[in-house]
Amino acid sequence: MTPQLTLLGVAEAAMAPALEAALAALPGPALRLCRVGGLLGVAQSAPRTAFPAGRSAMFKRLHAVQRRLEIACQVGPFLPADPAAALCPASEFAALIEAAAPALGAALAREGGRHQWQVTLRWAPEAILAARRDAVRRLAASERPKDVADAVAAILAEARAERAMALRAALLPLVVALSPENVSGGEGETSLTILVPAGGEAAIEAGLGAMPPALTQGMSCDLTGPLPPLSFSAFRVVEDEAGRLNGAWRLLGLPARADGRSLARRWREVAGTLHPDRAGGSATGFAAASEAHRLLRGALPADGQGLAQQDLATRAARRIILPELAA
C-alpha cells in the first residue's frame, strides 16, 4: 500500500524549526515538512486504515489532529488543511504544495494570522419565565395544555432570538467573519463561531461587555480559542476524475488546447447564451456550464502555459482548493 500523509497546513518556511519542535512535542504520527520557496508544507503520516474501528478511536484520531493544528496556529501564521479532506500519497506531497504554492502563499499572508473562536452564551430558561410570571400564570390557568406549552415555547424562543441578535450586533464590528451556520444551542443557549485577528480575545470581551445589561443579567459566557480557522480558511485536497474534466471540456466546446484567456472567453460566450435571463436561456444548462468552468479553471496550471485536452488523463489526480474567504 502506498504510504499516505495527512496534510496539516502551510506556514512560512522560516517557521520550520519552531513549528517542528512544537508539533513533535505532542503525541502523534511522524511529521513531514516540505519547503517550496518561502512556503512550508506540514503533514504527518496517515494511518493505514482511513476509518478506525469504533467511534472512540475515530474521535481520538481527530482530536490529535485538532490539537496539532491548535498548536501550529499559536506558533505563528498558519493556514490549516481541512482534516476531513487532507489525505494525499506521500509521493505527491511536494508536487501538491508546489502546484498550489502561489495561491497558498497569498492565502497565508491574508489569513494565516487569524484565529477562530467559539463564543457561547448560556442562561436559565426558568429565569426568563420568572420575568414573565404574569403571562405564565395566565397560561397556567388555561384548560388547554397544548396552548400553554406552545406559548411557553414561544416566550423562550423570543428570548433566545433577542440574545442571539444582541450577540451578533456586539461582535460583528470586531470580527473578520462569522460562520454561516452561526446560531446554535438549545433554548437556554446561543453560540457564534467567529474569525478574528490573532490576539483578539480582549476585543471579544469588550464587545460582550457592551451588550445590553437587561439581556446579559444572569447569563454566563464561554470563550473557546484561539482555534485554527477551520470554519473559514481551511484548504482541501480534492481528487479530480479525468472523466469529469473531459466532460467539462466538451460541454464548453473548447479547442484542443486552452489557457486561462481562452477558457474565460469561451465561458463568457456560453454564459451569455445560457443565462436564464436571456431569451432561450436555461437555468439547468447555465448551472452545468458554470460548474464545468469552475472545474477547468482549477485544473489549469499556475504557470499560465495552458492545458491540452489529451493531457487530462495524465494529470495528477489531486489538487488543493481554497475556500472563497481565503481564495
The C-alpha atoms of residue 241 and residue 237 are separated, in whole angstroms, by 13
Local structure of residue 311 (DSSP, 8 states): G
Largest CA distance in the chain: 79
The pLDDT, as a whole number, for residue 145 is: 59
The C-alpha atoms of residue 290 and residue 276 are separated, in whole angstroms, by 12
The C-alpha atoms of residue 69 and residue 219 are separated, in whole angstroms, by 31
Query: What are the pLDDT digits (tens) for 238-271?
Result: 876 666 788 888 889 999 888 888 999 999 998 8
pLDDT at 316 over 60: no
Query: What are the pLDDT digits (tens) for 123-160?
Result: 998 888 887 777 666 666 665 656 677 778 888 888 88
User: What's the Cα-to-Cα distance from 70 to each of 19, 67, 163, 305, 327, rounded to whole Å?
Assistant: 12, 5, 29, 38, 22
The pLDDT, as a whole number, for residue 146 is: 66
The C-alpha atoms of residue 231 and residue 195 are separated, in whole angstroms, by 9
What integer best gives the mean pLDDT of the chain? 84
136: phi then psi, degrees, rounded to nearest 5: -65, -40
User: What's the Cα-to-Cα distance from 268 to each of 87, 186, 262, 265, 302, rounded to whole Å?
Assistant: 35, 47, 10, 5, 21
Grid cell locating 143: 384548560
146 vs 18, more confident: 18
Q: In 3-state terms, what secondary structure has residue 223?
A: strand
Contact 302, 96 (CB under 8 A): no
